[in-house]
């Protein structure tokens, strides 16, 4: 596997970027691209994470989701610690090729979030009210834990580590 | 409506951020947070865009999706030009409150992408092959246009303008 996989640099021709068939993902100034992982069968949005070029190449070549951990500064194969991997059913790029969508099947306890939940999006923000001086109170929507993060990550201080989603 | 809506700054207590009920979204160094818009009824991921604090506050208060256009450097109410707005059914935050999920109902021609497609994710990246020196060839999955971007945006050079998704 190449250490520095190469994707072609994105040009300036909007029509080619949006309508062409050349995959030229645009990485940001940190070399990252945001990725939405959604469950293939249901469409449920599970998490947002980031890939660098190497994580993207490994994901394409192996069909297993790899990300770049911004908090740990390293490549990470989803599930390498938790056992909760993501098998990629489909990978899509958006119009201007600066965001990706992974449709995945879940393995293990079928949880994507490092807090033990299925999805990272387990809290809702109420709508339709003016934002008062006390701010906005979140509502827990799907708080069920599929695993115990303390025991899975084997860190007594796991709750206070800056674990980036689902690592 | 407040010109500078205030959300509380995010603290350093991971447990409070992940398990608490205080909405303290983390904006990046440009003051933006990534947002996934998905269709409420089907779960289909439609686009990834960005909000600043004001766009987020307006979205919460009005129930209509507002974003920050990075290319135009301005607040934008989805559909203000195209007529294809997004009515927000639900807004969720992720575990570490640095990404948002909008579940929306579409109006107008039910297209989210500025190219006229329903979703910005209309091209797939093939999986399972080593990445060769010629790179990766995209496959058009759902290319149907719901509107003609040239006539909707009334710019003869629309295809080459840096329109940020669905504006």
User: What are the pLDDT digits (tens) for A5-26?
Assistant: 579 999 999 999 999 999 999 9
Q: How far apart are CA A78 and CA A72, in angstroms?
A: 14
Measured between beta carbons, which residues in chain B are less than 8 angstroms from residue A99?
A: 48, 120
d(CA A54, CA A98): 16
| Strand, coil or helix: B166 | coil
Average pLDDT for residues A114-139, to the nearest whole number?
92
Predicted confidence at residue B3, as pLDDT, reads 54
Q: Which residues of A touch B7 (CB under 8 A)?
A: 131, 135-136
pLDDT confidence of residue B151: 85
Strands B66-69 and B45-51: unpaired
* CA distance to partner chain B, nearest, from residue A74 (Å): 19
Q: Are A37 and A104 in contact (CB under 8 A)?
A: yes
Please list the pLDDT of chain B residue by residue as tens digits (167 residues): 545 557 999 999 999 999 999 999 999 999 999 999 999 999 999 999 999 999 999 999 999 999 999 999 999 999 998 889 999 999 999 999 999 999 999 999 899 999 999 999 999 999 998 888 878 999 999 889 999 998 888 754 444 444 445 55
Nearest CA-CA partner of B17 in A133, A167, A122: A122
Tell me if chain B has a CB within 8 Å of the CB of A40: no
Partners of A138 on chain B (C-beta within 8 Å) are 20-23, 93
Cα–Cα–Cα angle for A132, A138, A139, rounded to 5 degrees: 130
Of the given ranges (A110-114, A150-154, B45-49, B96-100), which has the lowest mean pLDDT? A150-154
Examine the pLDDT at A160 and tell me if it is beyond 50: no
Q: Is the pLDDT of residue A157 over 50?
A: no
- Per-residue model confidence (pLDDT) at position A140: 96
Cα dihedral across residues B64, B65, B68, B71: positive or negative: negative
Total-model pTM:
0.90
Alpha-carbon distances, residue A167 vs A74, A135, A137, A158, B51 (angstroms) = 11, 30, 27, 11, 26
Helical residues (DSSP H) of chain A, grouped into ranges:
14-19, 53-62, 149-153
Residues 6+ apart with CB under 8 A from B124: A90, A91, A92, B138, B139, B141
* pLDDT in the model for residue A166: 54
Per-residue pLDDT, B4: 52
Beta bridge partners of B164: none
Asked if A41 has any chain B CB less than 8 Å from its own CB, the reply is no
Give the ipTM. Answer: 0.89
């Amino acid at each position: 596997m190449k250490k520095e996989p190469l994707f072609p640099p994105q040009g300036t021709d909007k029509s080619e970027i949006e309508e062409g068939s050349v995959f030229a993902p645009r990485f940001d100034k940190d070399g990252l691209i945001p990725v939405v992982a959604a469950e293939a069968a249901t469409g449920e949005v599970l998490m947002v994470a980031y890939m660098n070029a190497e994580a993207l190449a490994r994901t394409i070549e192996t069909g297993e989701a790899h990300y770049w951990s911004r908090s740990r500064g390293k490549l990470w194969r989803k599930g390498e610690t938790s056992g909760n991997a993501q098998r990629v059913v489909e990978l899509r790029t958006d119009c201007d090729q600066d965001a990706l969508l992974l449709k995945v099947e879940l393995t293990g306890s079928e949880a994507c979030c490092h807090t033990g939940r299925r999805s990272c999006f387990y809290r809702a923000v109420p709508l339709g009210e003016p934002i008062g001086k006390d701010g906005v109170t979140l509502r827990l929507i799907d708080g069920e834990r599929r695993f115990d993060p303390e025991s899975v990550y084997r860190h007594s201080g796991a709750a206070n580590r800056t674990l980036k989603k689902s690592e």
